[in-house]
Structure 1
Amino acid sequence: MSTESVRLRRADPASSLSSPAQLLRRAWGRSGQGSCEASRLVDELLHTEADEGFDFGAAALVPEEALAIAVLSARNTVAAADTAFAQAFPDPGAIPDLRRLAERARRTGSALGLLEAADGAPLTAWMGRGPGAARWVRSDTARAALARPGAVVALVFAPSRSGELAGRASAAFGLTPIEARLAEAFLFAPTLEIAAAQAGIGHATARDVLARVMAKTGAARSGDVVRALAEVMSAVHEAPPMTPDRLSEALGLTQAEAGVALALAGGATQREAAQALGLQPETVRTYAKSVLAKTGAPRAKDLARLVAEAGALSGLVAVAEPVFTSGDPPASLRLMPRPGGRRLAFLDYGPAAGRPAIVFHGFTAGRSLPPRLAAALQARGLRPIVPQRPGFGLTSPAGGDYLADAADDLEALVTALGLREVALFARDGGTAAALAFAAANPGRIWRGVLLNPRSPRGLSPSHRSGPVKRMTRMLLDQPHLISGLGELIRRRTRSDFLEAALHETLGAIPADRGALADRAVRAQLVRDIQAHFAHTSAGYAAEHAVYAQGWRVPQVGAGGPWTLVHTGALGDEPPRDPWLQLPGASFHTLEGAGVLAQFTHPDQLGALIAGEPYLAPAI
C-alpha cells in the first residue's frame, strides 16, 4: 500500500478500521455517480492486507470434535480444560515441549508447535494470550482463569483422532464400509499390512480396496489418501499456504528440513523432492530421517497429516471469530474428484429412491436447504441434491471456462449418481450455470424452475432492495471490481457483520424482514455465507463476470417445461422476453415473497419444482 493510501485510510473517519460495514456501504453507495471513486475505494480496501493492524473480521467453521482446549496458569498447571484435553494430557506440567510452547506464547503472544499426547501421538498445538486467545474459551471458569497474570490458552487441533470426523470424511468420498474401515485405519497404521489387519481384511484384499479408495479420493499415491482425509476433517476455512518458514516454527525443523518436509507431505517421493529442491538424493534422505525423528511421525503419510493439520491450525488462530460446529449435518456431504486435480462438493438430502431435484445455491447463500423446503420436496417424492458450483465452498475453482466447467461438473455428478433425468431449480446467480447444463444435456431435464433468475439486463429498476440494486449495477458497469468485492466479502465473514449486512440489504422487504427475525434463519444464512467463502471468492467473481460480460440465455433444445417464478415483494416483474425461448416456458408470481422465498414459501416452491398445480401463497 502506498504512503498516500495509508494516509487516506487513517485520516478519513468514514474508513474507520473498526467499521468494515461502513466501508462496504460507501463502496455500494458511490457506484451510481462516483464510479471512479468507488473503484479507488475498493482497491484501497483490498490492499489493507499490508497493514498488520487491520482486522479483516473473517470467521472460520470449526468442528468441535477436532479440538482440545485448556487454560494454563503461569505455573503451567491446568486452570480449566475440556475433557478432550484432560484425556490427551493428564499431566501437562510434566511435558517439556508444553512448557516451552507456553513460555514462548507468554513472550511473543502466540506460539505454534507439536505436543506429544499420553499415547505417544504427536499433535499440533497453539498457545496464546490476549484477545486472540480469549475467543477460544467459552465458559466463565475458563475466562476467569485466562484473566489471571501469565495465563495462556492451549489449543490442540487433531481432527484425524476423531472417529466421528473420520467417518464423515469417509462418507463424503462415498467410501463403502470396507473402504472406510481401511482408510480410517490407514490414517495411523504404519503400513498397509497393519491397516488391513486392523480393518479385518487380508493383505491382498487391502491392496484392491486401497486402489478403490485412491480413485474415490483422487489420490495419486497411497499417502495422498491420508492428506485428503485430513483436509476434509480439518476446519472449513482458508488456511494460508504453508511455507518452509512457518513449517519450521510449527514443527521445530530447520529451514532445509522444512523444505523437504513440505515436499514429502505434498506427495513427492524422496527422488522427486531432491529434483525439485536441487539437492542430492542422499541429502534429502538424511533430512527426511531427521524430520520424522523430530516430529514423531512414523512415515511420510503421517507427516502429510501433521502438515495438513498444522496448516489448518495456523489459519484458524488468525481468524476473528471461530464458529464452533458439532453433530451430524442435515444432509450427506459428498466429494467427487474431477480432472485436473479439481474437486466437486454437493449435499445429498435423500432419500435415494426419490426423484432427483438439483437445487442451485445463490451468489452468496443457499449452500444448505431450509429444513421446511427440504421437507416439502421430500414429501413430494423428490430427492434434493445441492451441488456447490466451481469456486464456491468445497468445490475447486474452474480450471478454464466457468460455465463449461460448471456444466461438466453437474453432468459428472448426474452420471456418477446414475440419474437419468433431473429437475433443476436455480435462483438469481445460479441461472447461467443451470442453463449451461440444460443446453448441453436437454434430454436430462424433466422440469426446470428459475426463481428470480438473473436477467441478461440486470435487475428491474423497481427492485426494492437498494443495496443489492446498487451493487449489481456497479458490478455490471465496472467488472474490474468484481474479484475485489468478492475478496472483500470473503474477509468480512464475522457473524455479527453478516447479520448486520443481511438486515441492511433485506430489511426493506417485509417478508424477508420477518424471516430474519427467526434466529435459526439468520444462523443458517450466516453459516452458508461463511462456508461459501471459506476457501476462495473465485466462484463469486467468475459468476458475476459471466453476467458483466453480456451473458445471454442459451438455446435449450428440449426438456422442461420451464417455470419462471418472480417474487412479488421485489418489485415489478422483469421483462419476460429473454426467457420465452425456454421449452414450455410459463410465468408465475409469488405474491408477498422476497429474496428469502425458500424460507417463507417452501410449500409453494416445493409444488412448483414437483410440477404440481401452482399454489397461491397462504395469507
Structure 2
Amino acid sequence: MVDSLNTRPDTVIDQQSRQPNEAELVHMLYDAVIDNSLWPEMISELMEHIELSHPNDLSKSPDRFHGLITHFERAMRLSENIVALQEENATLGGVLDSLSVGLMVFDHGGNKIFSNRAARDYGVDYNSIGELEHEVEHLHVSSETQLPILGHADSRGTSIALVDASKIKSGILPPNAAKIVVGLPALTTQSFEDFRLRYFLSKAEGRLVKALHASNNLRKAATECRITYESARTYLKRVYLKTGVSEQSSLLLLVDRNPLSLLDREPQNTDPSLPVRRNLLLRDGRNLEYFEIGPPDGHILLHFDALTGVAIDAIGAPERYIPHLEALGLRIIVPCRPGTFGSHFKTMAGLSDFTNDLNQLLDHLDAKTVTVFSQAFGSCSALAFAATTSHRVDKLVLCAPSYPRHEPMDWRSMDVFYIISGVIGRRAPALLKAIVPYLMRSVMQNTKKYLERHITRSKCPADIAVLSSPVLQKRIPEMLALRTLQGSDGLVQENYLNTHGWDFELGSLTMPVHILQGELDNVSDPEGSRKLQAALPNAMYHSFPSLGQYLLFTEWPWILEACKCDGSTAAVIERARESMSDSKQITAA
C-alpha cells in the first residue's frame, strides 16, 4: 500500500494555547501588511480559526466568515503593493549601485538625502554640502554653460561636479532636492583592457594607450612603457588606424567615452576552476540542471537540498568543500527539481515522477550506485528516489528530515518554510499557487526580518549563530532568485508534493538509512524524525542534543565523511557525537 499522506497527520492539539478571536485576527491581518514576515503565520492562524469553528458553521452559515475573508483579501492586496514597491525600489537602487559614477543628492538645508554605492566606495560620500566644499580646497567654476567642477576628492583622481537642481530637467528630481553631486572615478585597469579588446589592440599598443592617457605626452608614455620614442610613434599610428581617429586628443576622448567604464563590474576571474552548474538534455527534450563539485572519479553523493539550497552552497562557495571531497574521494551532485533553477518544468503527480530524470542523470554520469543525502525538505525527494530505485542507492543520510505525517504540537514556533509547506500546504493546498510566489518575493525583499523572527523562536545557539550570519542573509535571496528564475511553478509543485505527493512505500527502503537529528530543531520536529525512523525497515536515529535544524551548515565535514561507501557511517557519526559530548563537558568544567 502506498504511504499516502493525504490524510490528517498525527496531531496533538495544545488545548492551553488560546486561539485569537475574529477581531484579533483582523488586527493581525493589518499587522502583516506592515510586517510581511508575519504572513505565513497569519494565513495559518486564519485557517485554524475556520477549522476550529463548529463543523457545520460553513454549511449552515456560509457568509459567517465573509467579513474576515474580505479583510484578508484587502490586506493581501495592500501587502502585495508594498512588496511591488520594494521590488521597484530594489531594482532602481541596484541599477544606480551598478554604476561606477558616484551620485549624491542634497536638500535645501544642505543635508544629504541620497547616495549610491559608488559615492560611498570612492570616498565622496559627504553628509553635507559644507563638508564637501571644505574637503575640496579649490572651487573651480568654468562658465555658465559648463558644470561647476570641485576638483579631485581623493588620491585616486575622482572628479567631483556640483550641480544646482534647478539646472536639471524639470519633473525628474523630487521637490526637496537642491544640489546634485556627481563623482567620476579615474579609469581602471579593466577600463583600459575593455578598450584594448574592443579595438583589437595588441598588449603593447594597449600599454601605450594607458600610459598616454595618464601623461598626455607621447615621450613620457614611451619612457613609461620602456620603448623608444620612434617605436611609440609606430604603435600610435597603428592605434589610430584601428580606432579610426587621427589625433591624440580624439584618441584620449574615445578612451574616456567608453560606456563600459560607467559600470562598476567585478574584476575578471582568472581562476580556472571547473564550472559547478551543468546541464543535461533529457530524452523528452527538457533540460535538467545539476551542480557538481568534487573529483570526477569520486563516489557520487546525490544531494537533495532544502528550499533555500545553501546548506551545501555548491554555487556560492564550492572551494569550501573541494579539498575535503578530494581527500574523501567523493563527488557531490545536486539535481535541480523540475521548474527550479535551469531545470525545465514538468507536471508531476507524485514525488517519484522525478525518478526517471534522475536515472537519466546517473546514466549520463556512468554511476551504478550512489549515496543519497538530504537536508530538511529535500528528504521527501530523497526518500522517493531511494524507494523507487533501490538497486542504485547504497544508503541514505538524512539531515533534519521532514516527515509530513507528523504535525508538531505548536507549529507557530516553526520557521516560515515549514509553515508554508507543512501547515498551509497540508491544510489548504489550493492556496499554494496564490501565495507561494508572493511569499517568496517577500522573503527575498525582507530576508533579514524573516531570519530575525526565526532567531527569536529558536532555542538552539548553533542555529542562532547560523541564522545571524551576514553571508546567509545575502545568500538566501540570491538562491531563491535563482531557484525561481523560470517562475514559481516548480516551487509551488515542490511544496505541494512534499505533503501530498508521497506515492511510494517507506517499507520498500531496505538499504541503511541514517537520520541525523538535532534535538533543538524547531523546523523539523525531532518527534517527526523518530516516527519516520519507526516507519523505515532499516533506519538508525542519531540524536544530537545541542544541535538544531542547521547541523549540516556547521557539521558538514564529518557528515560528508559519514557518506563514504566503506561501511563506516555509524562509527563516524558516533565519533562525532562523542566529540560534541566531550566538548560540552570541557566547557562546563
Give the TM-score, by structure 2 length. Answer: 0.55
Q: Which amino acid aligns with 1:600?
A: T
Change (3 A) 1:422 1:551: same
Secondary structure (helix, strand or coil) at the match of 2:296 reads coil
| 1:517 correspondence with 2:468 | yes
**Aligned counterpart, 1:498:** 447
- Report how far residue 584 of structure 1 moved: 2.7
Q: Which amino acid aligns with 2:370?
A: V
Change (3 A) 1:324 1:534: farther
Change (3 A) 1:589 1:49: closer
Residue pair 1:402, 1:543 contacting (<8 A) in 2 also: no
Residue pair 1:515, 1:599 contacting (<8 A) in 2 also: yes
Structure 1: how far apart are the matches of 2:366 and 2:515?
A: 28
Q: Which amino acid aligns with 2:289?
A: A
Matches within 5 A, 1:25-104: 26-33=42-49, 44=74, 47=77, 54-57=84-87, 70=101
Percent identity for Structure 1 against Structure 2: 20
Q: Deviations over 1:50-85 (max 9, x none)?
A: 95994253868x999xx7765799xxxxxxxxxxxx
| 1:357 correspondence with 2:301 | yes
| 1:429 correspondence with 2:374 | no
Residue pair 1:368, 1:528 contacting (<8 A) in 2 also: no
Q: Which amino acid aligns with 1:436?
A: A
Change (3 A) 1:326 1:515: farther
**Aligned counterpart, 2:563:** 609
Structure 2: how far apart are the matches of 1:39 and 1:379?
A: 58
Structure 2: how far apart are the matches of 1:601 and 1:414?
A: 27
Q: Which amino acid aligns with 1:57?
A: E
Deviation larger for 588-597 or 500-509: 500-509
Structure 1: how far apart are the matches of 2:362 and 2:342?
A: 18
Structure 2: how far apart are the matches of 1:604 and 1:536?
A: 36
- Report how far residue 49 of structure 1 moved: 9.6
Change (3 A) 1:528 1:574: same
- Report how far residue 513 of structure 1 moved: 0.4
- Report how far residue 512 of structure 1 moved: 0.7
**Aligned counterpart, 1:225:** none
Change (3 A) 1:609 1:525: farther
Residue pair 1:359, 1:426 contacting (<8 A) in 2 also: yes
Query: Which consecutive unaligned segments of at least 5 residues does structure 2 have?
Result: 1-25, 52-64, 105-112, 127-159, 169-179, 183-189, 194-263, 584-589
Change (3 A) 1:68 1:415: farther
Matches within 5 A, 1:45-444: 47=77, 54-57=84-87, 70=101, 139-140=121-122, 148=163, 149=165, 150=168, 327=269, 332-339=276-283, 341-366=285-310, 368-369=313-314, 376-401=324-349, 403-444=351-392
Change (3 A) 1:31 1:140: farther
Q: Deviations over 1:392-424 (max 9, x none)?
A: 222222244353442222222111111111110
Residue pair 1:456, 1:553 contacting (<8 A) in 2 also: no
**Aligned counterpart, 1:542:** 493
**Aligned counterpart, 2:550:** 596
- Report how far residue 557 of structure 1 moved: 4.3
Q: Which amino acid aligns with 1:368?
A: D
Change (3 A) 1:354 1:50: closer
Change (3 A) 1:457 1:22: closer
Secondary structure (helix, strand or coil) at the match of 1:587 reads strand
Residue pair 2:102, 2:116 contacting (<8 A) in 1 also: no
**Aligned counterpart, 1:528:** 479
- Report how far residue 501 of structure 1 moved: 0.8
Change (3 A) 1:14 1:332: same
Secondary structure (helix, strand or coil) at the match of 1:491 reads helix
Q: Which amino acid aligns with 1:379?
A: A
Residue pair 2:403, 2:532 contacting (<8 A) in 1 also: yes
Residue pair 2:350, 2:503 contacting (<8 A) in 1 also: no
- Report how far residue 356 of structure 1 moved: 0.7
Secondary structure (helix, strand or coil) at the match of 1:363 reads coil
Residue pair 2:443, 2:450 contacting (<8 A) in 1 also: no
Match for 2:37 among 11, 18, 21? 21
The alignment yields a C-alpha RMSD, in angstroms, of: 4.8
Q: Which amino acid aligns with 1:365?
A: G
Structure 2: how far apart are the matches of 1:379 and 1:344?
A: 29
Match for 2:423 among 460, 470, 473? 473
Structure 1: how far apart are the matches of 2:349 and 2:71?
A: 29
Secondary structure (helix, strand or coil) at the match of 2:49 reads coil
* Aligned pairs, number: 392
Residue pair 1:464, 1:569 contacting (<8 A) in 2 also: no
Residue pair 1:456, 1:550 contacting (<8 A) in 2 also: no
Secondary structure (helix, strand or coil) at the match of 1:384 reads strand
Structure 2: how far apart are the matches of 1:44 and 1:330?
A: 50
Secondary structure (helix, strand or coil) at the match of 1:393 reads coil
Secondary structure (helix, strand or coil) at the match of 1:55 reads helix
Structure 1: how far apart are the matches of 2:267 and 2:454?
A: 27
Match for 2:405 among 457, 468, 471? 457
Secondary structure (helix, strand or coil) at the match of 1:485 reads helix
- Report how far residue 333 of structure 1 moved: 0.9
Change (3 A) 1:71 1:479: same
Q: Which amino acid aligns with 1:574?
A: G
Residue pair 2:455, 2:464 contacting (<8 A) in 1 also: yes
Give the TM-score, by structure 1 length. Answer: 0.52
Match for 2:437 among 487, 499, 504? 487
Q: Deviations over 1:174-201 (max 9, x none)?
A: xxxxxxxxxxxxxxxxxxxxxxxxxxxx
Q: Which amino acid aligns with 2:505?
A: P
Structure 2: how far apart are the matches of 1:338 and 1:21?
A: 38
Q: Which amino acid aligns with 1:607?
A: E
